Amino acid sequence: MAILREKVLEYSLRMSRSGMAPSTWGNISALDRGSGVVAITPSGMEYDSLTPSDICLLDLEGAAVEIGRKPSTETALHLAVYALKPEVGAVVHTHSVYATAFACARREIPVVNATLAAVVGGRVPVAPYAAPGTRELGLGAVNAMGGRPAVLLAAHGVLAVGSDLRAAYTVAEIVEDAARIACLAGMLGAQVELDAAETARIRTEYLRNYGQGE
């Protein structure tokens, strides 16, 4: 599990330094489906102070695999995703500012840029409000997410998922980027959305051809 812990730590530091998770907020996890072990960031610790052994190891019920730090208060949110979405191998939860502004306004992020169409495949939906740290938050988020890899948590932040940490982190970055662009486009007077057919075409092309085919 050393590699899983190191990967979670690596992306936690990236998230913190990007500004998408102010102070000690936000959290990241990754699942090893073979063993059913989840590595998740600890609760309330400064990201820059973390070492791999601070990353908590849990089973899919939330029980500690190894005694260590207290896990993130959003552990139930992460575990709900793994329980209900078998294709997901990593979860990134941020409080990134522009996307959270949409979450607070309880407005979906519109598809005004092609990158959001490619990476998310449509508007970023909004889950109904549920208290932080609850299983209800996780169930509502997964339900609202549908087939998308991201959802806004009302009055709270962003949940992004992927087959691995790199994929989930990319979704979190692109959601924030799209929220900022949509906000600025709105200030310029027009949030012109791509239509559904073009959004679907861009998404298909991205899944088929983008990257180095690793």
Question: How would DSSP label each residue in 24-93?
Answer: T--EEEEEETTTTEEEEPBTT--GGG--GGGSEEE-TTS-BSS--SPB-TTHHHHHHHHHH-TT--EEEE
Instruction: State in angstroms the smallest separation of the CB of 32 from Zn ion.
Output: 24
**Could you say which of 74, 173, 176, 193 is catalytic?**
74
What is d(CA 82, CA 75) in angstroms, rounded to the nearest whole number?
Answer: 11
> Does the annotation count 74 as an active-site position?
yes
138 near Zn ion, judged by CB under 5 A: no
Choices 61-69, 113-121, 157-165, 178-186 (CB under 5 A): range interacting with Zn ion: 157-165
Query: By C-beta, is 122 or 157 nearer to Zn ion?
Result: 157
Distance in angstroms (rounded) separating the CA atoms of residues 160 and 150: 4
Among candidates 128, 130, 129, 121, which has minimal Cα distance to 178?
Answer: 121
* End-to-end CA gap in the chain: 23
Residue type, 23: S
Region binding Zn ion by CB under 5 A among candidate stretches 57-65, 102-110, 149-157, 182-190: 149-157
Sign of CA dihedral 94, 100, 103, 109: negative
Q: Which of 95, 87, 106 is nearest to 175 (CA)?
A: 95
Q: Is 89 in the site for Zn ion (CB under 5 A)?
A: no
CB of 159 to Zn ion, least distance (A): 9
Site size toward Zn ion (CB under 5 A) is 1
Residue closest to Zn ion when measured from CB atoms: 157
Contact between residue 100 and residue 156 where contact means Cβ atoms under 8 Å apart = yes
Indicate the residue among 76 and 111 with the shorter CB distance to Zn ion.
76
Q: Verify binding: residue 157, Zn ion, rule CB under 5 A.
A: yes
Q: Which of 42, 185 has the CB closer to Zn ion?
A: 42
Per CB under 5 A, the segment of 40-48, 56-64, 153-161, 202-210 that binds Zn ion is 153-161
Q: Minimum CB separation from Zn ion for residue 133, in Å?
A: 9
Considering only residues 18 through 47, tell me which ones interact with Zn ion, judged by CB under 5 A: none
Catalytic residue set: 74
Q: Could you list the residues that contact Zn ion (CB under 5 A)?
A: 157
